[in-house]
């Protein structure tokens, strides 16, 4: 795992990977900003419909922006990984070209439709499962560490599978991927926990999707060659 992390860090300057980072980061920010603009508009329309004055409208808009910042922080992981699903192929190709050329020669490109599908399913799972567990997270706050521990375990499991599928999709069809999911669960979980930790670190969290995809590529091929 450490070797995969170090190899991934060393390749962050790769032109293709830099391009993916810029595209995915810009799209992630744009989606969150679009959500904020929509929330602001709804708040202002709601205030106008109730006949309240302009000052209340400004206050409602400000609250809407604060909600956007809060949800943006909470949902950044889900949105970023969903977006990465669209561009992950470029990261995987860059890693395979440098470290696994034989595998690259036999790989197949992931279509935009399949990439979007993987990304949307990833985001949906992350949001729904974490929302379902929200009451448990709240109850565990009294333990001091229970909420953080459960969050890491759940999101480590989700994120490891998400990153793993981004790579496996280039080398397996859907039937093969179903069998693949039954193996290597420990490595994918470790990858997911590492990725979740990266998402919790300011600044580094911006690079977490790219680093995670690169690490997943190393782990996938080392697992197949083991």
Number of domains composing the chain? 1
Given pLDDT bands bounded at 50, 70 and 90, which one contains residue 216? very high
Q: Is the pLDDT of residue 33 over 60?
A: yes
Note the pTM of the prediction, 2 decimals: 0.80
Q: Provide the pLDDT confidence category of residue 72 given band limits of 50, 70 and 90.
A: low
pLDDT of residue 35: 78
- The whole-number pLDDT of residue 215 equals 93
pLDDT reported for residue 100: 92
Average pLDDT over residues 31-58: 72
Q: Is the confidence at residue 217, as pLDDT, over 90?
A: yes
What is the pLDDT averaged over residues 18-26? 88
Q: Rounded mean pLDDT of the chain?
A: 82
For residue 19, the SS3 value is helix
Checking if the pLDDT of 226 tops 60, the result is no
- pLDDT more than 90, % of the chain: 9
User: How far is 209 from 212, CA to CA, in rounded Å?
Assistant: 5
* Residue from 112, 204, 218, 96 nearest 163 by CA: 218
Mean pLDDT of 191-199: 87
Residue with token string 């600044």? 203
Rounded average pLDDT over 65-86: 71
Domain range enclosing 36: 2-225
* 160 φψ region: left (φ > 0), alpha (ψ -120 to 50), beta (else): alpha
DSSP string, 163-205: HHHHHHTTT--HHHHHHHTTS-HHHHHHHHHHHHHHHTSTTHH
């Amino acid at each position: 795992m450490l070797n995969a992390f170090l190899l991934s860090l060393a390749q962050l300057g790769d032109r293709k990977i830099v391009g993916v980072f810029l595209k995915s980061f810009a799209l992630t920010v744009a989606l969150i900003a679009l959500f904020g603009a929509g929330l602001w508009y709804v708040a202002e329309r709601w205030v106008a419909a109730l006949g309240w004055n302009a000052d209340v409208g400004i206050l409602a808009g400000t609250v809407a922006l604060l909600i956007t910042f809060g949800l943006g922080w909470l949902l950044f992981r889900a949105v970023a990984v969903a977006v990465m699903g669209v561009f992950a192929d470029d990261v995987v190709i860059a890693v395979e070209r440098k470290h696994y050329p034989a595998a690259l020669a036999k790989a197949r490109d992931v279509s935009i439709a399949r990439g979007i599908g993987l990304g949307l399913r990833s985001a949906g799972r992350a949001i729904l499962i974490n929302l379902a567990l929200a009451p448990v997270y709240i109850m565990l706050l009294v333990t001091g560490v229970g909420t953080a521990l459960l969050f890491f375990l759940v999101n480590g499991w989700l994120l490891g599978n998400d990153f793993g599928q981004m790579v496996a999709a280039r080398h397996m069809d859907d039937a093969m991927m179903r069998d693949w999911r039954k193996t290597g669960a420990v490595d994918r979980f470790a990858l997911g926990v590492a990725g979740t930790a990266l998402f919790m670190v300011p600044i580094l969290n911006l690079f977490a999707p790219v680093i995670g995809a690169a690490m997943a590529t190393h782990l996938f091929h080392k697992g197949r060659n083991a």
